[in-house]
């Protein structure tokens, strides 16, 4: 079959394209912006990419067009699809019909940590010899790719609550019908889609309604928003997670053996099962790990096996990924774009580096951030940084200077070149620069690294 994918360079649609190719289909696709690393992944699979949306992109008359959720009516390519009467479907629906059906689906949902937790779970299954398939909204470093078909019974999917397509406004995850589901946490997000938290909770309730009675739902015991979702109706056994000392009724607990979460004890039903020792940091990753261990246990993997696998887990690209180290300055790339994720990312690094300086750079790029929904929380979220620079891109629709005035360590910069120059001048050996955005942030990581390298060379520092 010849499949054409609209929005092919998004993490979900790109992963879907890779799986379609592994199934033997001829795959083409188009996107407004075709750029690495996704473009390289796709081209390596023999997938033809077209930049921009045009009617002529479907001149080859594909058998099926798979439409990404970023595509709206008025897009010239989807208008051509409709005018020509071509068959089309959404990505989630295609995935269920052609890949997920008949598998044991393990879905990871929640506001934060989906990508990392799904990557952990897929790695545990892989190391146990289960040969799982997976589709994850990032690139797990252990696998080097965001998706694979797999040859086993299990399939791990990052289950996003964002809407499905212009013709299907349900959340993506209602299409997946998981048997095992992790609900990591739940906060208000995606303000361009949902009017309030209750609207998101309703979609999570729809997800729960699709999970069978012999399935399993893994949730944090202390997340009130998720408890409210469960109270809307639940027909599946639930296992709860908590830090040791909290929620004694929970089946699973963790204890930090080091403040930075580099060593984590896992406890099941009051019995210690082992210690994860790894390079990751932050209490949020301890919670992610516990959820992955609990979900894997439902698939028959004992906790000690999961712990051993996670001790070899290398994290996910763009999750505190070390991009460069120049003259004792370390530059990290992180996907954080919600105040909770920003705060936990910086707190995890602070626990690891102690009194060394942290310089945070933030691009408020998500639709929710651009709308100013989290404006009142942003200043506090940056409090673990010694210095913080926030890029005010054109079109930001709220008073970012006023919202950040409470944190005197934060400076708002409207010009990219000024931002780079200011950060480079402010940096000194031993600093940790954390760059946070859900986009490419104008490739600022490489530009700062190049400038620091040039300065190091001029000063004779190797």
Which of 11-25, 142-156, 436-450 shows the lowest per-residue confidence on average (mean pLDDT)?
Answer: 436-450
Q: Is the pLDDT of residue 63 over 80?
A: yes
DSSP string, 131-190: --EEE-SS-BTTTSSSEE--SSSEEEEE---SEEETTEEEEGGGGT--SEEEE-------
Q: d(Cα 430, Cα 427) in Å, to the nearest integer?
A: 9
Give the per-residue pLDDT at 461: 60
Q: d(Cα 427, Cα 421) in Å, to the nearest integer?
A: 10
Q: Is the pLDDT of residue 403 over 70?
A: yes
Asked whether 171 and 93 are in contact (CB, 8 A), the reply is no
Q: Is the pLDDT of residue 371 over 80?
A: no
Element (H, E) at 288: helix 283-298
Of the spans 128-132, 343-347, 348-352, 444-448, which averages the highest pLDDT?
128-132
Between the CA atoms of 336, 178, 3 and 78, what dihedral angle is there, to the nearest 10 degrees?
A: -60
Q: Is the pLDDT of residue 459 over 80?
A: no
Q: What would the mean pLDDT of 267-288 be, rounded to a whole number?
A: 95
More confident residue, 238 or 408: 238
More confident residue, 366 or 83: 83
Q: How confident is the model at residue 37 (pLDDT cuts 50, 70, 90)?
A: confident
Give the per-residue pLDDT at 458: 67
Give the per-residue pLDDT at 394: 82
DSSP 8-state symbol, 343: H
Asked whether 144 and 122 are in contact (CB, 8 A), the reply is no
Give the per-residue pLDDT at 462: 53
Which of 87-101, 189-203, 263-277 shows the lowest per-residue confidence on average (mean pLDDT)?
Answer: 189-203
Asked whether 438 and 366 are in contact (CB, 8 A), the reply is yes
Q: What would the mean pLDDT of 237-263 be, rounded to a whole number?
A: 96
Q: How confident is the model at residue 259 (pLDDT cuts 50, 70, 90)?
A: very high
More confident residue, 43 or 54: 54
Give the per-residue pLDDT at 94: 97
Structure tokens at 376: 């009142």
* Percent with pLDDT over 70 in the chain: 99
* Percent with pLDDT over 90 in the chain: 77
Residues 6+ apart with CB under 8 A from 42: 8, 9, 14, 17, 18, 29, 49
Domains, the chain, in order of start with CATH, read 2-90 (3.40.50.720), 102-310 (3.40.1190.10), 321-458 (3.90.190.20)
Q: What would the mean pLDDT of 257-285 be, rounded to a whole number?
A: 95
Q: Which residue has the tokens 């940590």?
A: 113
Q: How confident is the model at residue 460 (pLDDT cuts 50, 70, 90)?
A: low
Element (H, E) at 27: strand 26-31
Asked whether 251 and 269 are in contact (CB, 8 A), the reply is yes
Asked whether 176 and 96 are in contact (CB, 8 A), the reply is yes
Task: Please report, in angstroms and rounded to a whole number, the separation of the first and last CA atoms in the chain.
Answer: 54
- For residue 248, the tally of other CB atoms under 10 A from its CB is 10
Structure tokens at 417: 């070149």
Q: What would the mean pLDDT of 210-227 be, rounded to a whole number?
A: 97
Q: What would the mean pLDDT of 384-406 be, rounded to a whole number?
A: 86
Q: How confident is the model at residue 264 (pLDDT cuts 50, 70, 90)?
A: very high
Give the per-residue pLDDT at 291: 98
Which of 88-97, 147-156, 190-199, 390-399 shows the lowest per-residue confidence on average (mean pLDDT)?
Answer: 390-399
Phi, psi of 75 (to 5 degrees): -60, 125
């Amino acid at each position: 079959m010849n499949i054409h994918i609209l929005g092919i360079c998004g993490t979900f649609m790109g992963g879907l394209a890779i799986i379609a190719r592994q199934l033997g289909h001829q795959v083409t696709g188009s996107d407004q912006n075709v750029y690495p690393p996704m473009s390289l992944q796709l081209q390596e699979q023999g997938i033809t990419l077209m930049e921009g949306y045009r009617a002529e992109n479907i001149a080859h008359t594909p058998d099926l067009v798979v439409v990404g959720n970023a595509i709206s009516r008025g897009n010239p390519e989807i208008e051509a699809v409709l005018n020509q009467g071509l068959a089309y479907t959404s990505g989630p629906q295609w995935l269920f019909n052609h890949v997920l059906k008949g598998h044991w689906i393990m879905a990871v949902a929640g506001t934060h940590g989906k990508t990392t937790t799904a990557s952990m779970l897929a790695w545990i299954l892989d190391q146990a010899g289960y040969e799982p398939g997976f589709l994850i909204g990032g690139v797990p470093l252990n696998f080097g790719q965001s998706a694979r078909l797999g040859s086993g019974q299990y399939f791990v999917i990052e289950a996003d609550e964002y809407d499905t397509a212009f013709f299907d406004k349900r959340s993506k995850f209602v299409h997946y019908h998981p048997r095992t589901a992790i609900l990591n946490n739940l906060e208000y997000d995606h303000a361009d889609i949902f009017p309030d938290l209750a609207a998101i909770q309703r979609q999570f309730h729809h997800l729960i309604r699709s999970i069978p009675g012999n399935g399993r739902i893994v949730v944090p015991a202390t997340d009130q928003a998720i408890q409210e979702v469960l109270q809307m109706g639940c027909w599946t056994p639930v296992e709860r997670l908590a830090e040791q000392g909290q929620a004694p009724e929970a089946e699973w607990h963790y204890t930090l053996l080091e403040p930075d979460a580099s060593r984590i004890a896992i406890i099941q039903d009051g019995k210690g099962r082992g210690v994860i020792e790894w390079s990751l940091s932050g209490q949020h990753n301890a919670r992610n790990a516990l959820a992955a261990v609990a979900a894997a246990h439902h698939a028959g993997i004992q906790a000690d096996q999961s712990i051993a696998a996670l001790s070899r887990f290398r994290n996910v690209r763009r999750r505190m990924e070390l991009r460069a180290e120049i003259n004792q300055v370390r530059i990290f790339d992180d996907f954080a774009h919600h105040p909770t994720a920003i705060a936990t990312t910086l707190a995890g690094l602070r626990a690891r580096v102690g009194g060394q300086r942290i310089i945070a750079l933030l691009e408020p790029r998500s639709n929710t951030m651009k709308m100013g929904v989290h404006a009142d929380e942003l200043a506090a979220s940056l409090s673990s940084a010694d210095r913080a620079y926030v890029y005010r891109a054109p079109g930001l629709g709220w008073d970012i200077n006023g919202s950040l005035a409470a944190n005197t360590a934060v400076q708002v910069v409207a010009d990219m070149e000024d931002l780079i120059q200011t950060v480079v001048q402010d940096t000194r050996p031993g600093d940790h620069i954390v760059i946070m955005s859900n986009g490419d942030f104008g490739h600022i990581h490489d530009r700062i690294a190049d400038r620091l390298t040039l300065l190091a060379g001029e000063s004779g520092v190797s």
